[in-house]
Chains A and B, each alone.
Chain A
Amino acid sequence: MSMISDFTRGIWKENPVLVLLLGTCPTLAVTSSATNGLGMGLATTGVLFGSNLVISLIAKIVPKKVRIPVYIVVIATFVTIVDLLMKAYAPPALYTALGIFIPLIVVNCIVLGRAEAFASKNGPIRSILDGLGMGLGFTLTLTLLGMLREFLSSGSIFETKVITAWTTDFLLPSAAPGAFILVGVILAVKNYASYRKAVKSGKLYIPPKGLDCRHCNICSAHLNEDE
């Protein structure tokens, strides 16, 4: 049972972008189209799979003092491998569009975060499942954001025009500020859904860590005792 939750946790309950709020840089930078979001998500998933596996295997012999540099070396190795593979086999337009953001997966907090928080404390199989789950959650979120941005700016999804009469591009969603706004909207929807679910089942809604209610009145009903 816990193995299944290792995998599914990353998709919704601890979604790296929407709940852990990690990896915001690639999230905002490369999701101008659904294809780019999907490509970036899959590349990161590949790195997460490799780095989580290797780190869970070597965690027992890594000296505590140098664990972060060790993790970074492992992650950088896998990023270079993914980069070379994409250069050889990915569609050239995708590789050009992702550009510098592929090497920058090295500093993606999701990868280092999972290494430190999960892979270094768990066995290889659970770590692989965690890496794949987190990667899938990242991929789905990036693809969703890419589809939204592409649709709102030009009426197309995956480079295919859905509304043929839409001829002039609307530029805000395809620029970085639009991405920020849309991430905010998705976050709000996600939090509202979690809140509704908690209220329905009669439980107290506990917002994800770092996203507490102090500045937000969606769930202020539960904070009355503080006043």
Chain B
Amino acid sequence: MNLKNTENFLVLGLFLAVLGLISAVLLAVFSGMVKEPIAKAELRNTNNALLQILPAFDNQPSENQMTLKADDMVITFMGAVKDGKLVAVAARGEKKGYAGAVQALIGFDLDGKIRSVLITGQNETPGLGANVCQRRFQKTIFNLFEKRPEGLAPNVFLDQFNGKSAVKGEVWKVKKDGGDIDYVTGATVTSRAITELATQIAGCFVGNRTEIIAKLSPAGDKK
């Protein structure tokens, strides 16, 4: 039988089926091999973000979490525990920005004050909306070989929320909408989305503070 010129559709179908099977088995074996590194990489990414906005902790906050619903947004709260005590809470939520969802991770002190805001997922216009979301130290050819400063890189817009805490009935707004948050020209939609995100998450945290703290405190420390 000449396999190369065959027109028998059974043979053709069988050939494709066998090839598909071989490829599926190969991929299954391979994905089993890299399963662990991928899980490790994902955990490292989450922890990198959490380490930047929370004080030192010794538990795994992404395993000590609860979700609440505020309006149309699902907010995930993660508790950072140190020496058997809850020290801070991180909250994650997302809202529609200019292009797709903007995902924020906000660190809170236990009294409801915002430690810092970090944007962990966005697809805004590069150069405009994206600049509002990014925290990074500017590398230049002049400081290329200097040691990079540690900790959270500054971002003028996001740093406005540091130290703020939600007051019941008060909604944060950008200046254009009559509030007091400075927005970035050319990126009003993104600025507005992040402001709304922050006000909703902070409001939800303050509103349900006792419940969240009780739930996320390690067992045995519940008052």
Contact in complex: A73, B4 (CB < 8 Å): no
Contact in complex: B127, A171 (CB < 8 Å): yes
Q: Tell me the nearest residue of chain A to B44, going by C-beta.
A: A92
- Which one of A65, A69, A153, A162 contacts B7 once the chains associate, using CB atoms below 8 Å? A65
Contact in complex: B5, A63 (CB < 8 Å): yes
A77 close to B (CB within 8 Å): yes
Contact in complex: A81, B3 (CB < 8 Å): no
B-side contacts of A160, CB under 8 Å? 139-141, 144
B-side contacts of A96, CB under 8 Å? 121
Contacts known (A62-B4, A63-B5, A174-B127); A161 close to B138, Cβ less than 8 A: yes
Contact in complex: B140, A63 (CB < 8 Å): no
Q: Which residues of B (1-51) have their CB < 8 Å from a CB of A?
A: 3-7, 11-12, 15-16, 19-20, 23, 26-27, 30-31, 34, 37-38, 40-41, 45
Interface size on A, residues (CB 8 A): 36
Q: Tell me the nearest residue of chain A to B24, going by C-beta.
A: A77
- Which one of B41, B131, B144 contacts A88 once the chains associate, using CB atoms below 8 Å? B41
Contact in complex: A63, B15 (CB < 8 Å): yes
| A36 CB to nearest B CB, Å | 11
Contact in complex: B16, A73 (CB < 8 Å): yes
A66 close to B (CB within 8 Å): yes
In angstroms, Cα B177 to Cα A12, docked, is: 55
B68 close to A (CB within 8 Å): no
Contact in complex: A161, B38 (CB < 8 Å): no
Contact in complex: B45, A70 (CB < 8 Å): no
A-side contacts of B5, CB under 8 Å? 63-64
Between A88, A160, A164, the greatest number of chain B beta carbons within 10 A of the residue's beta carbon is seen for A88
Contact in complex: A89, B41 (CB < 8 Å): yes
Between A32, A70, A170, the greatest number of chain B beta carbons within 10 A of the residue's beta carbon is seen for A70
A-side contacts of B139, CB under 8 Å? 156, 159-161
| A10 CB to nearest B CB, Å | 26
| B43 CB to nearest A CB, Å | 12
B-side contacts of A76, CB under 8 Å? 23
Contacts known (A63-B3, A160-B140); A169 close to B20, Cβ less than 8 A: no
In angstroms, Cα B126 to Cα A85, docked, is: 27
Knowing that A63-B11, A160-B140 touch, tell me 9 more A-B residue pairs with CB under 8 angstroms.
A63-B4, A70-B15, A73-B16, A77-B27, A81-B30, A89-B37, A153-B126, A161-B141, A175-B125
Provide 17 A-B residue pairs closer than 8 Å at the C-beta atoms, listed in order of the A residue.
A63-B15, A65-B7, A70-B15, A70-B19, A73-B19, A74-B23, A81-B30, A87-B34, A87-B38, A87-B41, A88-B38, A88-B40, A153-B126, A153-B127, A160-B144, A161-B138, A161-B139
A residues in contact (CB < 8 Å) with B: 32, 60-66, 69-70, 73-74, 76-77, 80-81, 84-85, 87-89, 92, 96, 153-154, 156, 159-162, 164, 169-171, 174-175
